[in-house]
Amino acid sequence: MIIKKVCFTLFFTIVLSSSFLAQNVIDSACIHTKIYSLASTEMQGREAGTLGGDIAKNYILDFLKSVKADKNTYLQKVPLVQIYNGKCYFFNKKDTLKENIDFYIAQKKTAKLLPLELKNNKIILLEFSSNWKNNLNKFKGKWIQFSFSDKRDKRIEELIQQKEYFIQNGILGLIISIPIETQSTFFSESKKTYLSQDLSYENFPVILINNNRFEQFLKRNKKISFTHKNTQFVNGFNIYTIFPGIKSTGNKTVLSAHYDHLGSNQRGVYYGADDNASGTAALMCIAHQIKKLENTAQQNEEDIVIAWWTAEEKGLLGSSYFTQNPPFDIQKINAVINVDMIGRYDTNYNPPNNYIYVIGSNFISNQLHLINEEVNNNGEKLILDYIYNLYDHPEDLFQRSDQYNFHLQGIPSIFFFSGFHSDYHTIYDTPDKIDAKKASKIASHIYNLTLNLSKTKNQIVR
């Protein structure tokens, strides 16, 4: 009996020790150099649909080529439309009213709406009353204006929501004049970007306008045209590379990070070293490491997809486009691991400290949560902090990065994030402030987790 027992113990020990994972596989120097390149002046803040975004895209592609991971690498074109504010106007030669300063178009996505002719004598000012719908047919072919003295008046929303009545009665457009402050910070964004497939093509404009400015404007101008000529169609690109599994059944573990950032403006370049050159660099170094496993005993069993999203900063647009136009069956995705900002510390922790916020791992399947915990216990032993791990957390962290689009498709998703800092979304998010050692530990854990999720036995049951 005793020998058998020893044998058993020995066997047990072997199995157990083999389940310990290699530590710090992802080299901090690899991450360091890539963050410096991605967050360089040359890349101009990597804004989607700009030259800087394109340079960043090519930098990732060139790297994949250099480590011979380009064979299964794909680009997904993401058609975007940029709508510039402040250049769309009611105009009559010199006299202009500027969008988002003097007026505001209530529909969000109206690129194809205009130009429309709006002549002075065609605007009908109506008093708001409970029977405003009744006589609308008398004003066919005209614009209707309502004036309110309080911009929070609940009836404004009622009018906008019931615009079908105006359309049915042949009304050309609705002007709601309200006391919005000029130069309102509420409308201060200089440019908005949308997926062009999501544009609304309806032809009924609802315009909220500053009532004093509009009144003065009408006095000075007999004829008014309204144009919206500053939409620009551009392309962003999602990049993804597939590492086929040695026992592949078509299931895929997706590891992702957005590579775009805010671009640059008169304040300077938004380098986005933490947001999200850190995650972008981590995935590049992980891709290299996974490539090295090819034709070895450690090669992934199921497919691994590493994806870099565009236009995250514009509202998760790249990942939204990917889930709406998937190049493979996205229901075959085992889990999505998303990485956004892993290079800095927040005020809850002092450096050096190996914590990471983990969000969403148990939202769809607890199995993903348990695998993540186990991989960490056997590997990097990070502090897994769950303070943000609430679907309706006041900060809405889970909804604020690309994993959310996959979650909406019912795909188990886990989000790694190391917290906010005062340089978040400023020109001061620079590479010198990154702790590449910390980022490499987190990246090493993410590498271990990705490989583990590629195992046949670790396909998540939903």
Q: How far is the CB of 333 from Zn ion (least distance, A)?
A: 24
Q: Which residue number, 275 or 435, has a Cβ lying nearer to Zn ion?
A: 275
Q: Which of 350, 337, 224 is nearest to 279 (CA)?
A: 337
- Considering beta carbons, is residue 303 or 312 the nearer one to Zn ion? 312
Q: Least distance (Å) from Zn ion to the CB of residue 52?
A: 15
For the CB of residue 260, give the shortest distance to Zn ion in the complex, in Å. Answer: 9
Q: Closest CB to Zn ion among 54 and 275? A: 275
Q: What stretches of 352-453 adopt beta strand conformation (E)?
A: 355-359, 383-385, 413-417
Q: How far apart are CA 424 and CA 187, in angstroms?
A: 21
Query: For Zn ion, which is the closer residue by CB, 132 or 424?
Result: 424
Q: List residues bridging with 126 in a β-sheet.
A: 146
Q: Give buried/exposed letters for 267-280 (b at 16+ CB in 10 A, else e).
A: eebbbbbbbbbbbb
Number of H helices, E strands in the chain: 11, 20
Residue ranges of the alpha helices (H) in 328-435? Answer: 366-377, 403-407
Provide the token pair at 112: 């194809």
Question: In this complex, which beta carbon is closest to Zn ion, that of residue 95 or of residue 396?
Answer: 396
Distance (Å) of CA 20 to CA 192, 294, 374, 442: 48, 21, 10, 17
Edge-to-edge strands of the sheet including 103-105? 103-105, 206-210, 173-178, 143-147, 123-126
Q: State the nearest-atom distance from the C-beta of 340 to Zn ion, in Å.
A: 7
Q: Nearer to Zn ion by C-beta: 48 or 113?
A: 48
Q: d(Cα 279, Cα 358) in Å, to the nearest integer?
A: 14
Residue 202 C-beta: closest distance to Zn ion, Å: 31
List the interface residues with Zn ion, window 133-152 (CB under 5 A). Answer: none
429 contributes a contact to Zn ion by CB under 5 A: no
Q: Which is nearer to Zn ion, 123 or 341 (by Cβ)?
A: 341
Contact predicate 300/243, CB 8 Å: yes
- How many other CB atoms sit within 10 Å of the CB of residue 126? 13
Task: Identify which of residues 275 and 380 has a Cβ nearer to Zn ion in the complex.
Answer: 275
Nearest CB to Zn ion, comparing residues 231 and 278? 278
Vertex 232: Cα angle to 40 and 314 (nearest 5): 55
Cα→Cα distances 400→72, 258, 338, 417, Å: 29, 12, 11, 11
In the complex, the smallest distance separating the C-beta of residue 314 from Zn ion, rounded to whole angstroms, is 10
Instruction: Count CA within 13 A, CB hemisphere, residue 389.
Output: 19
Strands 143-147 and 123-126: parallel
Return the residues of window 193-232 that contact Zn ion according to CB under 5 A.
Answer: none
Backbone angles phi, psi at 148, to 5 degrees: -130, 145
Smallest distance from the beta carbon of 313 to Zn ion, in angstroms? 5
Q: Min. distance of Cβ 425 from Zn ion in angstroms?
A: 6
Rule CB under 5 A: which of 239-298 touch Zn ion? Answer: 275
**Residue nearest Zn ion by beta-carbon distance:** 275
Token reading at 140: 């066919």
Q: How many residues bind Zn ion (CB under 5 A)?
A: 1
Residue 419 CB, shortest distance to Zn ion, in Å, is 13
In angstroms, what CA-CA distances link 457 with 38, 143, 304? 37, 64, 15
Residue among 136 and 273 whose Cβ is closer to Zn ion: 273
For residues 417 and 401, is the Cβ–Cβ distance under 8 A? yes
Q: Closest approach of Cβ 177 to Zn ion, in Å?
A: 36
Cβ at position 38, least distance to Zn ion in Å = 14
**Closer CB to Zn ion, residue 54 or residue 260?**
260
Alpha-carbon distance 185 to 194, whole Å? 21
Q: Note the residues at the interface with Zn ion (CB under 5 A).
A: 275
